Amino acid sequence: MTDFEVHLDRYLIHLEGTRGASPYTIKNYANDIGQFLSYCTQQELPSLSMIDRIFLRRYVAELDTVGYAKSSIARRVAELHSFGDFLVRENILGRNLFRMIGAPRTPERLPEYLTTSEISALLALPDIQKPLGQRNLAIMEVLYGAGLRVGELVGLDAGDIDLGQGQLRVLGKGGKERIGLLGQPAVHALVRYIEQGRSELLQDKPTRALWLNHRGGRLSSRGIALMLNQAGKKAGIRIDVHPHLLRHSFATHLLDGGADLRVVQELLGHADLATTQVYTHVSQRRARDVYLRAHPRAKDENTIDVGR
């Protein structure tokens, strides 16, 4: 194993053990940073301490030349920044040389979300006469009702749920714990699933996991993503449905309903308010669309029937 590979391996262990990164995140970091380290090897760079601004710019230019999107390049640069911070803390680098370059500017992408009618169509699909249908409805209600990340959802144990208080204990990014709130529909779906569906799926196997697959083991993130994607297609929803889409919908609908941004930040488990603020742009865009459709003076005056 080369020094480059040793550094990356230690960083990935750090991401998993200290920061609680998901397997999906770790895989992305391994691929993207590994790509840069392969480039270093190809260029016969003897050590990461030999990196300079010209070398980094050449690497970014090569990514652009082979057709990577600006957003993809920006992600790789941000990952290298974080990797460099780790190398400094480990005394492998004296300073973070990766910060000699910034990420390319990318057009702002607003998060997609489902309308309330699409949410209703999705929630109407599961067959609640069957264990898997009871589980699937409860998953949808909790994802949308509490705005959880899929990693937070799959990590839930039965003991994390307080049905009496309508809340659950969530272990978020970096091992930070927070309380997620549940509306009455989510509570009702959970009661049905826990008392009926989960008991059948359990098959007398000892497990603390809340969400079980058909074999009685803990349901995976992939299993949840597949279930939601299939449900979205059956419901005729215009975009691919995935777990984070329900989280986006949760935040957007809260702000549409007049919720305070700080409250939404706390419910989402965002460390930085700026991360939450992107949803205000979605809500404002929707308000503008409604205004243009509804207000008579928002349109060209030639389109208004002045005789009415």
Q: What is the pLDDT of residues 16-27, one digit of tens each?
A: 877 667 777 888
Using pLDDT thresholds of 50, 70 and 90, give the confidence band for residue 306.
very low
Q: Among 217, 239, 261, where does a domain finish? A: 239
* φ, ψ dihedrals at 263, nearest 5°: -65, -45
Nearest by Cα to 239 from 137, 111, 148, 149: 111
On whether both 84 and 138 belong to a single domain, the answer is no
On whether both 60 and 92 belong to a single domain, the answer is yes
Q: What is the pLDDT of residues 52-78, one digit of tens each?
A: 999 999 999 999 898 888 878 988 999
On whether residue 305 sits in a domain, the answer given is no
pLDDT higher at 174 or 232 = 232
Give the pair of three-digit tokens for residue 186.
């989510």
On whether residue 202 sits in a domain, the answer given is yes
On whether both 163 and 69 belong to a single domain, the answer is no
Q: Are the CB atoms for 200 and 131 separated by under 8 Å? A: yes
Q: What is the pTM of this model?
A: 0.65
Q: What is the pLDDT of residues 184-195, one digit of tens each?
A: 999 999 999 999
Name the residue range of residue 74's domain: 3-100
Number of domains in the chain: 2
On whether both 90 and 133 belong to a single domain, the answer is no
On whether both 128 and 235 belong to a single domain, the answer is yes
Active-site residue list: 149, 173, 244, 247, 270, 279
Give the C-alpha separation, 168 to 159, whole Å.
9
Hey, what amino acid is at 242? H
pLDDT higher at 89 or 175 = 89
pLDDT at site 304: 40
Give the C-alpha separation, 135 to 128, whole Å.
8
Nearest by Cα to 227 from 291, 94, 137: 137
**Cα atoms found within 13 Å of the Cα of residue 68, Cβ hemisphere only:** 18
